[in-house]
Amino acid sequence: MTTPSSSAQTPKPRKLPRRPASALTEKWTRIDDVDVFYRESPRKPADPRVMMHVHGFGLSGRYLLPTAERLADEFHTYVPDLPGFGRSGKRRDMLDIPDLASAARDFMDDRRVEKATLVGNSMGCPVIIEFAHHFPERIDRAVLVSPAGGLYNQPLRRAIGQLSKDAPREPTRMARVAVPDYVRFGVPSTVRMFKALTQYPSLQRLLEMRIPTLVVLGERDPLLPHAHRVDEIASQTDSHVLVVLLEGAAHAINFSHPGQLAHVIRLFMDDQPIVNDPTWPGHVRLYEVHRGKHHPEPKTGA
């Protein structure tokens, strides 16, 4: 009678394939001697329009994925980690709004994208505004979700207080995404980037933009003025800005309310009336707060 070998008694566990973090394809490229990580639509959509998502302060593009994934089959979607953020390599000169706008342009050049709609959250919004200011021929439309920066977030202790109020209003799973990114970003970079962000003239540049621009605000976002104040300021000039308020949302709308945000982005992209999806739960509603004089009117019969 033979004795079974130990390997037969305890077969080696089979390695399971790593579950990808996203339905988008993960890729790398190299721009100006820096490795840049990004995600892209896995298939070429029928709609030729390109959409690039720009992340916020200290974060990577990972928390933008819930919204980006919902739009990736309709628009050719890119979600890069800008240099100095997330999994991309670091550059000392990438902690300033104009430099980050140039980095976004360089990424589009590298991917041979002539023109795109840019969708940003928090710090990503000033980056998009700066992009539109310097490279207006490269941007079709802008979607600014919970724009951050300027006097309302100064000084640093006030911003920290606002972030502390926002944290419990976000989904608990957001911490698993954000904390590793913040740790990787580091304290020195945080201080330098905060100074650049709060000194950037976001509101002035926003009202100067000459492309259709959607601003989405969360009703429970402590980092932004009340929607009525936003309407009051926006009404002081004839602009191309459409402001929409999302009931029940805080700051990280791209992560917490991806279905609702993707819905309003679709309506905006096709100049449709801003209406609620009847399948949403009762506590989630969209409200059009302000429509600038030069923003496209909803298509008749829509």
Q: Would residue 248 count as lying in a domain?
A: yes
Q: Would residue 155 count as lying in a domain?
A: yes
Q: Would residue 78 count as lying in a domain?
A: yes
Q: Would residue 283 count as lying in a domain?
A: yes
Q: What is the reported pLDDT for 6?
A: 43
Q: Report the CATH number that the domain containing residue 286 is assigned in CATH.
A: 3.40.50.1820
Task: Show the domain range for 179.
Answer: 21-291
DSSP per-residue codes, 105-143: HHHHHHTT---EEEEEETTHHHHHHHHHHH-GGGEEEEE
Q: What is the CA radius of gyration of the chain?
A: 21
Please give the tally of structural domains in the chain.
1
- Whose CA is closest to 127, among 207, 54, 41, 21? 54
Q: Would residue 4 count as lying in a domain?
A: no
- DSSP secondary structure code for residue 220 in this structure: T
The whole-angstrom separation of Cα 43 and Cα 74 is 10
Q: What is the reported pLDDT for 143?
A: 98
Q: Give me the half-sphere count of Cα atoms (radius 13 Å) on the Cβ side of residue 76.
A: 13
Mean pLDDT of 265-290: 90
Segment 125-162, tens digit of pLDDT: 999 999 999 999 999 999 999 998 766 676 767 777 77
For residue 102, give the 3-state DSSP assignment.
helix
Q: Would residue 2 count as lying in a domain?
A: no
Q: Would residue 200 count as lying in a domain?
A: yes
- Whose CA is closest to 141, among 243, 242, 213? 213
45 close to 73: Cβ distance less than 8 angstroms:
yes
Segment 70-123, tens digit of pLDDT: 999 999 999 999 999 999 998 876 679 999 999 999 999 999 999 999 999 999
* pLDDT at position 16 over 50: no
Segment 22-37, tens digit of pLDDT: 789 999 999 999 999 9
Where is pLDDT greater, at 167 or 135?
135
- Whose CA is closest to 127, among 175, 61, 179? 61
* pLDDT at position 64 over 80: yes
The whole-angstrom separation of Cα 273 and Cα 295 is 12
Q: Would residue 253 count as lying in a domain?
A: yes
Segment 201-233, tens digit of pLDDT: 888 888 889 999 999 999 999 877 766 666 666
